[in-house]
Amino acid sequence: MDSLKKDVIISIKGSSTVDGETDTVELITQGTYYLKNGNYYLCYEETEATGFEGSRTVLKVCAPHKVTLLRSGERRAEMIVEPGVRHHCNYDMGYGELMIGVSGSQVQSSLGENGGELLFSYAIDVNTSLASENEVRIQVKECQS
């Protein structure tokens, strides 16, 4: 089944809460979806709407409850979200890279051969001070040919 590779429509809704204020970003884009070594991968180009224009994002979904985000290009990042675990990650905030703490609270995936949904939430801290609480909901659907 590792031969799965499809062009997909990716709907992303992300919310970030900082100091009680919530900001939501929604993006619908085309990307690539594939299975490799038992893990699902989702690849897409970032846009101005997300603030990461000029970057490419790859999400690796490791069953059952771990998501790794790798962003390359102008704004690089590496982030691991795993419930109950705090990972040290590099994140380019636009004015240089920061070492941040990423504490995962949940990862839920119904991803399968024909797409599905992925939900993950996490908190980001800088120097152990809470910076934001975040939730990302992603829907993956095959492109209609």
Measured CA to CA, the distance from residue 21 to residue 51 in angstroms comes to: 18
- 61, 64, 82, 119 from 68: Cα distances, Å: 7, 13, 9, 13
Tokens of 129: 């001070």
Total residue length of the chain: 145
Domains of the chain, each with CATH number or no CATH: 5-142 (2.40.128.20)
Rounded to 5 degrees, what are φ and ψ at 49? -60, -35
Measured CA to CA, the distance from residue 111 to residue 28 in angstroms comes to: 17
44-72 burial, b at 16+ Cβ within 10 Å, e below that, comes to bebeeebebeebebebbbbeebbbbbbbe
Measured CA to CA, the distance from residue 35 to residue 79 in angstroms comes to: 20
CB 77 within 8 A of CB 90: yes
User: In tens digits, what is the pLDDT along the chain, a chain of 145 residues?
Assistant: 455 789 999 999 999 999 999 999 888 999 999 999 989 999 998 777 666 777 899 999 997 789 999 988 877 788 999 999 999 988 776 677 788 999 999 999 999 988 999 999 999 999 889 999 999 999 999 987 6
